[in-house]
Structure 1
């Protein structure tokens, strides 16, 4: 089946990897926020309308994958109004536009909607308890999408890194070249996810959704498999850089205070993705190795 996919947030690291999947059978339109601001209703309505028309003209199935998000976690603590506009109001308008045009919507969310008090991987049905403005606004966005009447799916992920934009892997690479040692928190555990792998997974889901075979479960979890602390992740990055991982020193969250509280444990269970008969994500260690090979 041919697809025409609109990706709001196309200039972000996930959006760019989704755009890179454009091919003979997949037509990806990935506008950045300067071209499509999801907080501007008129722009959203026009973009979804244009998507539906473009798909009709080229005989393909339209799908929206919403990668637009306010992701400055600490800044959101003092700028929650703007974060809410992008993370909640924008998805609400986008979902309404998709519902009116009968275009399916896949909305990308985050592990930060959970409290982090768990001791085993979170399932989609687990109770939410965000501890930051970012998490609260993303949780509100999930509710807006799922309550819109649109044919919609929410895909939660976390700890993203890619070839473009700012991310933890790039930060560690920069610090490795400028500092003798680096202190990294060792009491926050999650699942690092390469955006190239996530983009492929979302496109697979888009194909299923467009064919009318979308998963019955409307919330899915998708990260590279496995779990690690930020400190453990940093050590793995140093190793790939050819640096001594012992130069990464563990510290506690209390020793590295930040404006926003992060969940101590935000590992997402892969069961929902697997049970939907979608391709399982490879381990985070293999994804990180592939990321560095792609440099």
Structure 2
């Protein structure tokens, strides 16, 4: 029986995979939180991988605190870059399959067209730079890896934009949301299913793939959709990013082109509103 190791088990994506895993009893699933797979301790990580002996690794573990990364550069680099190097070396040596999750923040945001997998990368914050370094080392050490770039992930688990908006819209009469950062959200359940589809597929085509839900929206429009579906009375105002300064710069345009994953794996990519409704009804 193939053993699938999921890192970052308590994160949004890891939690969604955990929920789906019961539908796939043909695999032995190992859901590893920080105590089982320690991405910030590389020597320990090597020992842990040798002990677990997975056949497939789904690397959902990452340092994702975008603003905090500006001051915690070393920690972000260890988890997003150096730990990925350890994983990639391990899978290359042991003929293990690896799906590594990356981000739209590898781009600088100056494009005006949906970004495909060949689009030039140029991160504008520490988080994006460490994730890009992780992508590079991942494919260098193990050209057989699959990397999935995703964006604006939300889920019924953990902290995310959707849950924050729902809370604020119930607490306040009005809120302001940036309207000049464009992309598309990703419902973690949809991404988890896309990853499982690759694992189940007869074919393994390495390289980088993009996955997010369909639609081209700003965070402001995303907030309006949440208001609409939730039936909240809160007033939502669009503001420029300059009115809401954050320690880390965000790309102003990071819409991902999903044609490759659709073509190669026949992956279903639902519209963001469809998935948002699903998630909000579950809450």
TM-score bracket, normalised by the shorter chain, equals: over 0.9
**How far apart, in 1, do the equivalents of 2:250 and 2:2 lie?**
37
Give the TM-score, by structure 2 length. 0.95
Pairing 1:248-287 to 2, within 5 Å after superposition:
248-287=236-275
- Does the aligned pair in 1 maintain the 2:91–2:142 contact within 8 Å? no
The answer for unaligned runs of 5 or more in structure 2 is none
Question: 1:199 and 1:46 mapped to 2: Cα distance?
Answer: 27
Given that residues 105 and 150 in structure 1 are in contact (C-alpha distance below 8 angstroms), is that contact kept between their aligned partners in structure 2? no
Classify the secondary structure of the residue corresponding to 1:287.
helix
Deviation at 1:3, TM superposition (A): 4.1
Can you give the 5+ residue segments of structure 1 that lack an aligned partner in the other structure?
56-61
Instruction: Say yes or no: does 1:220 pair with 2:209.
Output: yes
Pick aligned residue for 2:120 from 127, 130, 134? 127
Q: Equivalent residue for 2:179?
A: 186
**Residue in 2 that maps onto 1:20:** 19
Is contact 2:4–2:30 with CA below 8 Å preserved after alignment?
A: yes
1:136 aligns with 2:129: yes
TM-superposed deviation, 1:13:
0.9
The corresponding residue for 1:105 is 98
Q: CA RMSD in A?
A: 1.5
Would the aligned equivalents of 2:182 and 2:216 in 1 still touch at CA under 8 Å? yes
Residue 59 of structure 1 corresponds to which residue in structure 2?
Answer: none
Structure 1 residue 184: Cα displacement? 0.1
TM-superposed deviation, 1:33: 1.2
| Residue aligned with 1:20, SS | helix
What is the DSSP-based 3-state SS (H/G/I as helix, E as strand, rest coil) of the residue aligned with 1:120? coil
Q: Which residue does the alignment assign to 1:8? A: 7
What's the CA shift string for 1:134-184, capped at 9, x where partnerless?
000000000110000352111000100011111000110111111110000
Distance (whole Å) between structure 2 residues aligned to residue 227 and residue 26 of structure 1:
36
Equivalent in the alignment of 1:88: 81
Range with bigger deviation, 85-94 or 273-282: 273-282
Normalising by structure 1, we get a TM-score of 0.91
CA distance 1:51–1:151, shift in 2 (3 Å): farther
For 1:58, the equivalent position in structure 2 comes to none
Map 1:20-169; keep pairs closer than 5 Å: 20-23=19-22, 24-52=25-53, 62-149=55-142, 151-169=144-162
User: Paired residues, what number?
Assistant: 281
